[in-house]
């Protein structure tokens, strides 16, 4: 039995890799094509997340009234996140804003994974998510900060003009900032602004991950679904991104005019 474990892990890694490549290809194609294709892609993923949310709520929450409130919260939460994705990918912008958000969240996940695996250390909330460590959170902050700093430098050097479609102008349209919602405090050094935003994104992303882990633990399941081989369900893949999009939407909606 012990000899079979490495082979099984290798097989799981292969499945996860193939699934990840397919997911990236589908999502990247939809993002590139935009328009109805992007709307359909976001709609399918959102419906998948809501379906898994309802299943988890049914198993985790007692009482029809409480489950109803939980499902209503899910519709609002997922709906705002989906609306934000559609808002970021529209003809008024280049690819800069939406790619900045998506790549920053990916930077959080990658940084947290490698820092957590390499450094280990104290757990943040072992009763909810035993694998999450403080070193992983710091790695997530670093990953997000580097992505944001790279995006800002590319924008300043004019190296992202290839991503601009038609007359898109992120300067005046993208929340009054370039390349996206940060870089508004011009007296603050660039890296410090990226660091502050990186902390925000990393904490939000980890909070979204913890929320889903809490819900799954209450429901007594390991994954939110089994639609994506080796990766679980839709909710498992976008838990951190949803939290970031949700709070970003409120920051934009209530920013000073």
Q: Which tens digits make up the pLDDT trace of 117-170? A: 888 888 998 888 888 889 999 999 999 999 888 887 777 665 554 444 444 444
Q: Of all residues in the chain, what percent carry a pLDDT higher than 70?
A: 79
Separation CA 68–CA 2 (nearest Å):
46
Q: Identify the pLDDT of residue 232.
A: 76
Residues in CB range of 257: below 8 A, 6 or more apart? none
For 208, left (φ over 0), alpha (ψ -120 to 50), or beta?
A: alpha
255 pLDDT above the threshold of 90: no
DSSP 8-state symbol, 161: G
Q: Does residue 228 sit in helix, strand or coil?
A: strand
69 pLDDT above the threshold of 60: yes
174 pLDDT above the threshold of 60: no
Q: Identify the pLDDT of residue 171.
A: 43
> Which tokens hold the place of 198?
């990186």
pLDDT digits (tens, 9 = 90+) for 189-239: 778 888 888 898 999 999 999 999 999 999 888 888 777 766 778 998 899
Query: What backbone torsions phi and psi does residue 74 show, to the nearest 5 degrees?
Result: -65, -45
DSSP 8-state symbol, 163: G
pLDDT digits (tens, 9 = 90+) for 78-102: 999 999 999 888 777 777 788 888 9
Q: Identify the pLDDT of residue 130.
A: 84
> Which tokens hold the place of 229?
């081989």
Q: Does residue 103 contact residue 147 with C-beta atoms inside 8 Å?
A: yes
DSSP 8-state symbol, 226: S
- Look over the chain and give the mean of its residue pLDDT values, rounded to a whole number: 80
- Between the alpha carbon of residue 174 and those of residues 29, 92, 93, 106, the distances in Å are 23, 8, 7, 21
Question: Mean per-residue pLDDT for 63-71?
Answer: 91
Separation CA 158–CA 135 (nearest Å):
35
Number of Cβ within 10 Å of residue 234's Cβ equals: 23
6 pLDDT above the threshold of 60: no
Q: Does residue 175 contact residue 252 with C-beta atoms inside 8 Å?
A: yes
């Amino acid at each position: 039995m012990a000899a079979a474990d490495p082979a099984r892990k290798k097989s799981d890694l292969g499945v996860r890799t193939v699934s990840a490549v397919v997911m990236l290809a589908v999502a990247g194609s939809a993002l590139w094509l935009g328009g109805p294709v992007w709307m359909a892609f976001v709609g399918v993923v959102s419906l998948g997340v809501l379906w898994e949310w309802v299943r988890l709520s049914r198993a985790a929450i007692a009482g029809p009234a409480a489950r109803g409130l939980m499902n209503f919260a899910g519709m609002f939460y997922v709906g705002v996140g989906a609306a934000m994705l559609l808002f970021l990918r529209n003809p008024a912008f280049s690819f800069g804003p939406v790619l900045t958000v998506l790549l920053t969240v990916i930077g959080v996940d990658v940084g947290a994974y490698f820092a957590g695996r390499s450094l280990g250390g104290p757990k943040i909330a072992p009763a909810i998510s035993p694998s999450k460590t403080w070193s992983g959170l710091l790695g997530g902050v670093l990953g997000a900060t580097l992505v944001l700093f790279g995006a800002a430098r590319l924008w300043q050097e004019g190296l992202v003009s290839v991503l601009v479609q038609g007359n898109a102008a992120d300067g005046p349209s993208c929340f009054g900032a370039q390349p996206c919602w940060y870089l508004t405090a011009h007296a603050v050094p660039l890296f410090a602004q990226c660091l502050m935003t990186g902390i925000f994104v990393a904490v939000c992303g980890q909070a979204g991950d913890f929320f889903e882990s809490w819900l799954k633990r209450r429901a007594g399941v390991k994954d939110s679904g089994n639609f994506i081989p080796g990766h679980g369900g839709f909710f498992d893949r976008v838990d951190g991104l949803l939290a970031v999009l949700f709070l970003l939407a409120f920051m934009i909606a209530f920013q000073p005019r």
